[in-house]
Amino acid sequence: MYDPTVARLTYRALLGRRRAAILFVLPVLLVAIAVAVRAFAGADDGVASGVLGGFAIATMVPLIGVIAGTGAIGPEIDDGSIVYLLAKPVKRPTIIFTKLIVAVAVTMLFSALPTFVAGLILNGNGGQIAVAYTIAALVASIAYSALFLLLGTVSRHAVVFGLVYALVWEALFGSLVPGARTLSVQQWSLSVAEKVAGDGVVTSDVGLPLATVLLIGVTVAATWYAGQKLRALKLAGEE
Amino acid sequence: MTTIEIDHTSRWFGNVVAVNDVSMTVGPGVTGLLGPNGAGKSTLINMMAGFLEPSTGKVTLDGTQIWRNETVYKSIGIVPEREGMYDFLTGREFVVANAELHGLGDAAAHKALATVEMEYAQDRKISTYSKGMRQRVKMASALVHDPSVLLLDEPFNGMDPRQRMQLMELLRRMGAEGRTVLFSSHILEEVEQLASHIEVIVAGRHAASGDFRKIRRLMTDRPHRYLVRSSDDRALAAALIADPSTAGIEVDVTEKALRIQAVDFGRFTTLLPKVARENGIRLLTVSPSDESLESVFSYLVAA
């Protein structure tokens, strides 16, 4: 199911592009915010939760998920170099699964790790806040990567759609329309964090059982469907 | 011995028919797929390569369907026309990755790089390669698993004459070894120099099939039109029309030239200078007026 060569090519393509700069900028920004907040406001559980929930989980994780998830396959389909993977006796689902692993690893590295560091800076993991949001970021990394990898496989405008989902749906509709929150990777991952953190520090609109089912369901379904789409990927439509 | 069979295959994109009811068999040796740009050559190759589903009909490799069947890539090597190819890798890294995807190791990659004579630049990034070098590395990536079928889409595009010669030599060798080699081109001379068998595609249709002599004859036997200016147009016209190789002559007063329709190409081309010399006429302009590839090909379709 995992092909080390596909993984190597994906890593290098992902981290070698200019777009990858965002992968470095956002975590640095988060840590900088954490340092500033700690310096001015001191250690406070509510403030720490606000920064991690409001910036790290709501903005940074989905953005990094978009970059890593779509970037793991989209550019290769765009410039046609995916031909060199497809013209091989390698099962299509293996290619997708490998790219998912890479996207998940990159998203986790660039979102969960800085979330943990920022949490430690903000209040020294008081009330398990740093750990809780880190777990939320880890969980969200998996689902976002799967979703955006699928998007990168089916659409040439994956980054745009990904940003619309991450910023408009999750951030805007999520805060205005209560129902939208049920269909939000962010809320599902927060539901997991809720169980870890101290009382009332992290809240989610979705119960843990439903969130777990949806997280697993979306990840599996998106990955399976991306494999099917890759099997029937039409490389030529230009003529 | 490996054969690709295309059986009553069509492919359309929306309302546009790119390939229209084509049937052909591509066997061992070098086959040239000839046709003007936009004729459907790439669409056809993409269907043979398993990158495109036929709208109707079947494309098979030794009887097994190619579309949605990744096992065929054990015996097919593909040199795509598009340039995208992991430019951030070195040539060696690229070919090694291709070998690994076939379950092979460094040895296979080195052998393929040696075959295309790219060892000298194998440690440079692909982004620094010239067009011809990229083409050769693509070729190495396609040869790495020693495939019995090689499909090349416009492989000579952008190559200089020396690189072209080298690649032709390599493809000839592959064909002589009993591999099934198919390449597309819109240049008759390229196909004629290399292919033992030619398939002509025009406007999505299979226009002709055979060895280059047959295709060449089809192409040269059509009526040719020339625009000729001379020191004495009317005397030249009178002398030419007496010969059966000339079917018609028009004196174009505004252009101050003769428009000549020749039916026997070979005979006419030797006749014209001879007649001019014998009658003391100087030829000022002799230019073929319908030599565009499209007109040559459309004649073939009608034939």
Nearest CA in chain B to A83: B80
Q: CB–CB of B84 and A92 under 8 A? A: no
Q: CB–CB of B78 and A87 under 8 A? A: yes
> How large is the ipTM?
0.90
Return d(Cα A130, Cα A196) in angstroms, integer: 10
Q: Residue B257 CA to chain centroid, in angstroms?
A: 35
- The answer to whether the CB of A236 falls within 8 A of the CB of B154 is no
Set of chain A residues whose Cβ sits within 8 Å of the Cβ of B51: 83, 86, 233-236
**pLDDT recorded at residue B300:** 67
Name which of A19, A83, A86, A156 to mutate to probe chain B: the one with the most chain B Cβ atoms within 10 A of its Cβ.
A83
Q: What is the pLDDT of residues A69-117, one digit of tens each?
A: 999 999 899 888 999 999 999 999 999 999 999 999 999 999 999 999 9
Return d(Cα B181, Cα B136) in angstroms, integer: 16
In the numeric block, which tokens belong to residue B130?
């010239």
Nearest CA in chain B to A7: B97
- Averaged in consecutive runs of 10 residues, what is the pLDDT profile of chain B (303 residues)? 92 91 94 89 93 93 92 94 90 96 94 93 93 91 95 89 89 93 88 88 87 73 82 90 88 89 84 91 84 63 59
- Residue A63 pLDDT more than 50? yes
CA dihedral over A41, A42, A44, A47, signed as positive or negative: positive
Q: What is the pLDDT of residues A154-189, one digit of tens each?
A: 988 888 998 888 878 877 777 778 777 888 899 999
CB burial of B242-278 (b: ≥16 within 10 Å; e: otherwise) equals eeebbeebeeeeeeebbbbbbebbeebeebbeebbee
**pLDDT recorded at residue B61:** 95
**CA-closest candidate to residue A67, choices A107, A118, A127:** A107
Return d(Cα A121, Cα A100) in angstroms, integer: 31
- The answer to whether the CB of A137 falls within 8 A of the CB of A57 is yes
Listed in sequence order, the residues at least 6 apart from B220 whose beta carbon sits closer than 8 Å to its beta carbon are B265, B266
Touching B: A residues 6-35, CB under 8 Å = 6, 8-9, 12-13, 16
Name the DSSP letter for residue B282.
Answer: P
Nearest CA in chain B to A17: B88
